[in-house]
Amino acid sequence: MPLSALIFDVDGTLAETEEIHRLAFERTFAEEGLGWVWDVDLYRALLRVTGGKERIRHFVATSGVAPIDEARVARLHERKNEIYGEIVRAGGAGLRPGMAALIERARAAGIRLALSTTTSRSNVAALLAGSFAGMPDDLFDPIVAGEDVAQKKPDPEAYHQVLARLGLPAEACLVFEDSWNGLTAARGAGLRTIVTPSLYTAHEDFTGAARVVADLTDFDLADW
């Protein structure tokens, strides 16, 4: 079956954004006077929990800090997203090597582009505004974000939704991910998956990936 669509994860896949998320969390915690420190090693562990609010809840439940209510969880997450958005809209998150060229080649070949992510829709919009300026508003269509699913990755729901909206079988699509959670979600929907490990996921197990590559600089669509 000919390749008809490329489906991309966002954080860590389109761009190395996870460190920006971490710094935005830290700035938020400082503003709130919480005294929480999410250093690189802790954040790497926390990334096994998908979703920003879920990550905050997990940290509170497992770290021994004073409990906070759901309203404060939501407020912290909203403020973190505001800070993240300011950074990436200003161009603070460059695309990963080879990504821009791959997207251009796919568009030229008439291959559709879609996003499947657990991050917030506002974060997706901020990244697209900062890293894809001048591109069509519907460059990625459909976009399935964290608000659209009941179960986030590694559950395959986001990928099932993308396939349904594309109206394509899994065999006609190729996924790009950077994490075990993402790979597991994609494989759960029967999708072939290319993994480009990122700053925070290089240590993970990618057994079952169709291919694992450092980046997409030499990626050839003709192989698929």
Q: Which helix (H) or strand (E) holds 27?
A: helix 18-31
Q: Predicted confidence band at 6 (pLDDT cuts at 50, 70, 90)?
A: very high
| 55-88 confidence digits (pLDDT tens) | 999 999 999 999 999 999 999 999 999 999 999 9
DSSP string, 147-205: GG-SS-TTSTHHHHHHHHHHT--GGGEEEEE-SHHHHHHHHHTT-EEEE---TTTTTS-
CB 16 within 8 A of CB 199: yes
Regarding the domain delimited by 18-89, which CATH topology (the fold level of the hierarchy) does it fall under? DNA polymerase; domain 1 (1.10.150)
Regarding the domain delimited by 5-16+95-223, which CATH topology (the fold level of the hierarchy) does it fall under? Rossmann fold (3.40.50)
Of residues 11, 148, 155, 178, which has the active-site annotation?
11
Of residues 9, 148, 155, 178, which has the active-site annotation?
9
Query: Please, what sign has the CA dihedral across residues 72, 74, 79, 84?
Result: positive
| 96-107 confidence digits (pLDDT tens) | 999 999 999 999
Q: Is 41 a catalytic residue?
A: no
**Is this prediction's pTM over 0.85?**
yes
| Domain ranges across the chain | 5-16+95-223, 18-89
Q: Is 155 a catalytic residue?
A: no
